[in-house]
Amino acid sequence: MSALRNEIVRSVHHWTEELFSFRTSRDKGFRFASGQFTMIGLRIDGKPLLRAYSIASAHYDDELEFLSIKVPDGKLTSRLKDLAPGDEILVGAKATGTLLLDSLTPGRNLYLLGTGTGLAPFLSLVRDPDVYERFEKVILVHGCRQVRDLAYRSKLADELPADEILGDLVRDKLVYYPTITREPFKNRGRITDLIANGTLANDVGLPPIGKQDDRFMLCGSVQMLADLRPLLEGAGLSEGSTTAPGEFVVEKAFVE
């Protein structure tokens, strides 16, 4: 089996000047777990140019969805941003990644912490009924500079709770908590600060974070992950893997 497949772009949505998402066809043989990523890209001068992208669509969706920034002069994203329905795109035949439910020990609350395009894997996870089977509360935190950067805001705040199939679970268990750092908004501040000073737990009506009840998935910049890790470890939590599940898992948000 070839490591890459040709898929067809079905739709493209530009959220801001710097942020867009697109949906593609999905080979029936392509399997992934919520939270995983795959390689995607374009053939340029006959050679595939590929980058890792978290899959934002649900594992049961007929299409695949990806969220991307437009890196100025970025080799791949400067081309991807011009994608249009009908265009071909390369998609890896395999998915991988660390943001897996099976790498977490059982708990009560699942915190999904993402900055920027680090939201993408969580868009898949919050559409997975298994998440709601395993946890009583799912807190999706999306940290951005400005309000306009909050991609999927109305989908998460309005459409998902009204979803015919997932709506009941989502209304009961999902808390969507967007937070903004560079302009006024109802929730303000970096995720790290909101964890460190207890604001996040307090705002969502949960006790201070602790090893017994709380599980975390993190997706953001290298620095964001480096800053969050000691906060979680300081609360007694340890990183998990499929062979040794723990209280948190970590994935770098991918950029060029």
- Which residues lie near ligand A2P (CB under 6 A)? 115-116, 143-145, 181-182, 190-192, 221, 223-224, 227
Show the tokens assigned to 48: 């595939």
Helix boundaries (H) for 174-214 = 191-196, 199-203
Structure-token match 């000073």, residue found: 197
User: Smallest distance from the beta carbon of 60 to ligand A2P, in angstroms?
Assistant: 30
User: Smallest distance from the beta carbon of 244 to ligand A2P, in angstroms?
Assistant: 26
Which region, left, alpha or beta, applies to residue 238 given φ > 0 means left and ψ of -120 to 50 means alpha? beta
Cβ distance to ligand A2P smaller for residue 181 or 187: 181
Beta strand pairing status for 214-220 and 248-252? parallel
Angle at 125 between CA 177 and CA 213, to 5 degrees: 65
Cβ distance to ligand A2P smaller for residue 3 or 226: 226
Cβ distance to ligand A2P smaller for residue 54 or 192: 192
User: Smallest distance from the beta carbon of 146 to ligand A2P, in angstroms?
Assistant: 8
User: Smallest distance from the beta carbon of 142 to ligand A2P, in angstroms?
Assistant: 9
Cβ distance to ligand A2P smaller for residue 89 or 150: 150
Q: Which residues pair with 44 in a beta bridge?
A: 47
Cβ distance to ligand A2P smaller for residue 25 or 187: 187
Query: 3-class DSSP state for residue 168?
Result: helix
Helix boundaries (H) for the chain = 77-80, 120-125, 129-134, 153-154, 167-173, 191-196, 199-203, 222-234
User: Smallest distance from the beta carbon of 221 to ligand A2P, in angstroms?
Assistant: 6
